[in-house]
Amino acid sequence: MALFRSRDDKVQWNLTKAVRLLLPDNPGPDQMLDAAKQYTTAAKPSRLNRETICVDGNHFVLHPGRDVTPDMAARAGLPPDITCAFFPDWMGATTGLNTQMRKQVDEIYRQKASYLLGGLGARFGGLWYPRPEDISRPLRAYIFTMQQVDEASLWGAAARYEPALRPAESKWASEGVLTLRADSNPSLVQYWPPDIAKMHKVVFAAGPGVPQVLDPSWRDEDTAVITVEADQPAEGAPHSVAEAVGRVALGVAAETGGVCVDTFAFRVRNPADLAIRAT
């Protein structure tokens, strides 16, 4: 019995057990860095290797991609189009910590990885692990804005991109929440004033973290949220549905001076950014 695994055996183990990002093609370091900057502008190449990306601008790094051969993909049970794998690390985050504290930090970064790799995976049509529970919920885009919005302006902005949307009642109306509904996708658009928007902000804080692409001068108590939602889960939603939600969200963001982000807290620049590949 071999005492040590070969390099191929280690890669094979990583393809099925490790925290990982699996892509159809290697986008290269420049495109990967550009995508990471949609999470935070602090993302940067490592000083030791420019192909290693510090995704969060700090400890969370994504090492250069490794080729995945058809044989390796087949043995790992991966889709045949997967040709490249990326593996992250949280370099220096556990330095000087005892075993128990290291486990706690590892768990924090594994959770963080589920969002950071998810945002990258969505932009390059890939898969990643671990995956957060959020993607089983309805496909949704979030627009953070400092602009006050009334029903007429919300309806006018959204209907330019989905004419079927119409004003509708909601249980939050007395709290100042404005609601549009449609039988098509997106099926729901809602404006949440700053004091009520806190519930969405808490979800971000507990998951991927408060979006770092927002203007740091925006005060939380002055920032409203507009949600644009489909009537089906985010994971595996057809590209046509994701792009429909994205078109409305980006259009409304442009008209309200807002910033559109996805469930991973990445800035949305293209409607297709919202498409999440199913496992």
Tell me what percent of the residues of the chain surpass a pLDDT of 70.
97
Q: Is the domain of 71 the same as that of 176?
A: no
CA distance 248 to 253: 8
The per-residue pLDDT of the chain, averaged, comes to 93
> What band does 199 get if pLDDT is binned at 50, 70 and 90?
confident
pTM to 2 decimal places: 0.93
Pick from 81, 108, 129: which residue ends a domain? 129
Domain boundary among 81, 97, 129: 129
Tens digit of pLDDT for each residue in 86-130? 999 998 888 888 999 989 988 999 999 999 999 999 999 999 999
pLDDT of residue 5: 56
Does residue 23 lie in a domain region?
A: yes
Report pLDDT digits (tens) over 121-172. Answer: 999 999 999 999 999 999 999 999 999 999 999 999 999 999 999 999 999 9
Residue 231 has pLDDT above 50, yes or no: yes
Domain assignment present for 43: yes
Residues 194/221, Cβ–Cβ less than 8 Å: yes
Residue 39 belongs to some domain of the structure:
yes
Q: Are residues 109 and 165 in the same domain?
A: no
Whether the per-residue pLDDT at 243 is higher than 80: the answer is yes
Count the Cβ atoms, other than its own, within 10 Å of residue 213: 17
Residue type for 70, please? P
CATH number at residue 166: 3.30.70.3450
CB contact at 8 A, 237 and 231: no
- Domain count within the chain: 2
Name the H helices within 69-166: 70-75, 99-124, 151-159
Strand 84-86 and strand 20-23: pairing?
A: antiparallel
Q: Is the pLDDT of residue 1 over 50?
A: no
SS3 45: strand
Radius of gyration of the chain (CA): 20
Nearest CA to 154 out of 273, 202, 162 is that of 162
Alpha carbon distance 120, 35 (integer Å): 6
Domain annotation covers residue 1: no
Q: Are 268 and 218 in contact (CB under 8 A)?
A: no
Each residue of 23-52: pLDDT tens digit?
A: 999 999 999 999 999 999 999 998 888 899
**pLDDT tens for each residue of 182-191:** 999 999 999 9
d(CA 249, CA 241): 12
CATH number, domain with residue 103: 3.30.70
**Residues 124, 139: one domain?**
no
Q: How does pLDDT run across 51-89, given as a tens digit for each residue?
A: 999 998 888 999 999 999 999 999 999 999 999 999 999
The whole domain housing 21 covers 7-129
